Structure 1
Amino acid sequence: SPPPLQFCRGVKDSKRRGFINVALRSVETTLHQLLADVPSWGAEFRNLAQALGAILATDVYAQIDVPPADNSAMDGYALRIDDLVGDRPLPISQRIPAGATGGALQAGTAARIFTGASIPPGADTVIAQEDCELIGELLQVNVTPRTGQHIRPRGQDITRGQLILAKGHRLVAADLGLLASLGIASVQVARRIRVALMSTGDELREPGQALADGQIYNSNRPMLAALIESLGAEVIDIGIVADTPEATRDALKRAAASAEVVISSGGVSVGEEDHVKAEVEALGSLNLWKLAIKPGKPLAYGRVLEVPFFGLPGNPVSGFVTFCLLVRPYLLKMQGATKLLPPQWPARAQFEWPRAGTRQEYLRARVVPGDEGMEVEIHPQQSSGALSSVSWCNALAIIPIGKTLRRGDRVDVIFLQDIS
């Protein structure tokens, strides 16, 4: 089992200002410990119209065959291949539209049939209508058919008793169609998590309001709210919290009382106006603080009145990266998901990275196809406050601690379409 979560400080270095970063907890260790600390969550039944993005709480098995009977894959004529003798035409004995069931095929005849219609007993072949012609009331076949052509057999797609979707699978649009094809109207999924979202900072104003000197717009709230909602969770908006201990404590209490997870944006660094860390400790526990990650070092994790708490950095890029890499898998596991982490793909670097860092770096990058596979370039502005770099990029390029890159080297990337 993983070691317990610990309060993690840097180590003072007399030759450098502040703390050196080598003592900070790694991203991989932090994620391992966070996922070991996820509380269990309940389940509910939800109809398909409300199930997109939900995570299955049970395995789903087919109760019927799909298709439920042999049916025609073409508009044309159903017949018995042994009845095709020489060029002798066949009379049409019946007409079978989709949704209707024909009678047994009379020997030496053909049935007019349409796409999706059930194959009549006795028929073993369908001739596409463009491969034959009617001469009066007789069918003339102009091709040499093979037995079983253009027939979709019963159970071709799904057989009764087959495992269709496994517990922990996150439902996408195609899954809803698959479930509907089995006659399933509702599924048991993880209950919707309520996530309280609070923003700290006297400098913040909401979009649409006028800015005074020294103020900025709150970009974190809509970004984080969208990321939370993309996981099927409900956002409880606590709003902008004033930079005072009293306001911070009151907001944390309200957040913990209204949600299953609390997320704060800003206020977890070491400034005199950063009150979140101290108030979390006063109301519960702070189990983790500061990681060897760039951007996003001042990430906090703990409990507020027994409710899981994440304190994300206030810089928008840092908040985005730490949410995607650490908070997102936590929320997914809380809902019982089995796929928690996005895949990492190799790409060829089209940039130089000569500075070996003491924190694992996630560069805003853009992956494009090249002559020898995927190539990746990075945004020229890698500041943790440059949200335009996140809007521009389609991936994060991972630079491990102590590594440098030359143009043409392999670098692992995470596609943002897999996480945001």
Structure 2
Amino acid sequence: MAIGSVMLEPYGREGLPLGQARTQILAAIKPLSGSEILPLMQALGRTTAAPVIASAAVPGFRASIMDGYAIAGAAEPEPGALWCLVGVSAAGAPHGAALRPGEAVRILTGAVVPEGSDRVLPQELVAAKGDQLELTKPCGPNAWIRQPQEEAAPGQELVAAGQRIGVADLGRLASCGVQQLALTRRPRLGLLISGDELLPPGVQRGPGQIWESNSALLRALLQRLGYDVADQRVVVDQPEQLRLALQELAAGCDVVVSTGGVSAGDSDWIRQLVEELGQVKFWKLFLKPGRPFAWGQVAGVPFFGLPGNPVAAAITALQLLWPALQRLEGAELQLLPRLKVQLEQPMRRGSGRPELARAQLVVTAAGDLWARVGGSQASSRIGSLQGADLLLEIPAEMGALEAGTELWAQLLRLPVF
């Protein structure tokens, strides 16, 4: 389609609902081919290309859970029972001989439980005098022994293929002797920021100019989600320069992301250029913020045209770009967890479009969950994202909301482990 020609409107006046848009995008995205082998400590946040299998039992021996004494036999003894101390079993230095009836050894946490013993007595329950050990208190049924396959059995799947490696995964894999992992390839992102009015932060502004913030906001968001931008361009609203930038980004990246230029203004060239170089599969979301969003492909590479307003760009990136990047990486899809909250104070709004409003999570002393909405929800106001824990899901038909209104919310917190 030539620049300046009239575009048809096959997308509907209001745009696609968010869930429908996500479904359409994910159906079109295929995982990238290829994998790489990396050391374990470089795998945090990456996605496994193959299942990780335990090569041996872990810990591989019966280990004491407590500091105490390993006694011969398995029966639960009564207070007053006596044993003869015949040695010590420490971590890394086991007692080499099997215990015979009436014998016991001093044992430390993590040490090998000797053969002939099926019970460890915690040290606070016994009294040791010389080579004599006496049970002074009831010991109860717990044997305080960790079994050889407690953490893993030989051949057990530790991590499935397509799983994103977390902190706990790293710890468990290390405990099972895993040194390196086969990981899927991360998508290379190309970021295009367009606008005649944009200046780098720190440069003196002229009339009508603003400091460019979308690249900082989006790159930081993507880094928090585990992705880096491989190539970035900030380009004025001139079609030839924008066309060249789109072509070069598509040639060197696995996905192209733009902000601005996909609406219907006189200087919004991006959507028309994508139609020329590839295809716009849908345009406009039935969502606030985020209506001017475009999805398609440039030279066969997935394209995401985010809105120009920074909050709208961040919200649509989280809702639509992030799931697509997970699919490209071959990861099991993870969306933000949802919970029900109540509004702490009234909220003014007009009905018409579903909204994702930014809010802070407040947990009362009684354990009730409240959402605190502070300040303007304008899509240009990055301050509405500061300190936000929640994206409140406000249905299109809801107008002004009273305090105490119950809503679903997306939790903006990443897991620790």
> Shared topology, TM-score over 0.5?
yes
**2 CA distance for matches of 1:205 and 1:106?**
82
| Cross-structure match for 2:88 | 95
**1 CA distance for matches of 2:294 and 2:50?**
33
1:144 Cα deviation after fit:
2.7
**Matched residue type, 1:414:** Q
**Matched residue type, 1:116:** G
Quick check: 1:192–1:232 contact (8 Å CA) kept in 2?
no
1:355 Cα deviation after fit:
4.6
- Report the secondary structure of 2:372's partner residue: strand
What is the aligned residue count?
Answer: 403
**Matched residue type, 2:312:** S
1:324 Cα deviation after fit:
0.6
Quick check: 2:50–2:160 contact (8 Å CA) kept in 1?
yes
CA offsets, 1:212-270, max 9 Å, x none? Answer: 33222222112211222334333123231122111111111221122100111212122
Give 1:198-277 correspondences, 5 Å limit. 198-277=192-271
| Cross-structure match for 2:26 | 35
The alignment status of 1:321 with 2:315, answered yes or no, reads yes
The alignment status of 1:157 with 2:148, answered yes or no, reads no
| Cross-structure match for 1:18 | none
The alignment status of 1:64 with 2:56, answered yes or no, reads yes
Closer/same/farther in 2, CA of residues 416 and 87 from structure 1, 3 Å limit: closer
| Cross-structure match for 2:39 | 47
Quick check: 2:76–2:139 contact (8 Å CA) kept in 1?
no
**2 CA distance for matches of 1:86 and 1:238?**
74
Closer/same/farther in 2, CA of residues 91 and 272 from structure 1, 3 Å limit: same
- Report the secondary structure of 1:100's partner residue: coil
Q: 200-209 or 64-73, which moves further after superposition? A: 200-209
| Cross-structure match for 2:404 | 408
What is the root-mean-square deviation of aligned Cα atoms in Å?
2.3
The alignment status of 1:375 with 2:338, answered yes or no, reads no
**Matched residue type, 1:408:** G
**1 CA distance for matches of 2:367 and 2:228?**
43
Quick check: 2:88–2:94 contact (8 Å CA) kept in 1?
no
Quick check: 1:196–1:238 contact (8 Å CA) kept in 2?
yes
Quick check: 1:132–1:141 contact (8 Å CA) kept in 2?
yes
User: 5+ residue gaps in structure 2?
Assistant: 1-7
Quick check: 2:48–2:163 contact (8 Å CA) kept in 1?
yes
- Report the secondary structure of 1:230's partner residue: helix
**1 CA distance for matches of 2:161 and 2:402?**
43
**2 CA distance for matches of 1:52 and 1:79?**
43
Quick check: 1:289–1:298 contact (8 Å CA) kept in 2?
yes
Quick check: 2:195–2:260 contact (8 Å CA) kept in 1?
yes
- Report the secondary structure of 2:117's partner residue: coil
Quick check: 2:284–2:294 contact (8 Å CA) kept in 1?
yes
**2 CA distance for matches of 1:284 and 1:88?**
84
Q: Given the alignment, which residue of 366, 382, 394 partners 1:387? A: 382
Q: Given the alignment, which residue of 284, 290, 300 partners 2:278? A: 284
1:89 Cα deviation after fit:
4.0
Q: 173-182 or 404-413, which moves further after superposition? A: 404-413
Closer/same/farther in 2, CA of residues 265 and 355 from structure 1, 3 Å limit: closer
Give 1:294-333 correspondences, 5 Å limit. 294-333=288-327
Quick check: 1:169–1:339 contact (8 Å CA) kept in 2?
no
Closer/same/farther in 2, CA of residues 147 and 401 from structure 1, 3 Å limit: closer
1:391 Cα deviation after fit:
0.8
Quick check: 2:48–2:161 contact (8 Å CA) kept in 1?
yes
- Report the secondary structure of 2:88's partner residue: strand
| Cross-structure match for 2:186 | 192
Q: Give the TM-score taking structure 2 as reference length.
A: 0.89
| Cross-structure match for 1:25 | 16
1:32 Cα deviation after fit:
0.8
**2 CA distance for matches of 1:121 and 1:327?**
57
CA offsets, 1:94-150, max 9 Å, x none? Answer: 222101232212432211211101100011211222332331233233223246522
Closer/same/farther in 2, CA of residues 86 and 40 from structure 1, 3 Å limit: closer
Q: 298-307 or 335-344, which moves further after superposition? A: 335-344
**Matched residue type, 2:216:** P
The alignment status of 1:173 with 2:164, answered yes or no, reads no
Identical aligned residues as a percent: 36
Quick check: 2:90–2:107 contact (8 Å CA) kept in 1?
yes
- Report the secondary structure of 2:413's partner residue: helix
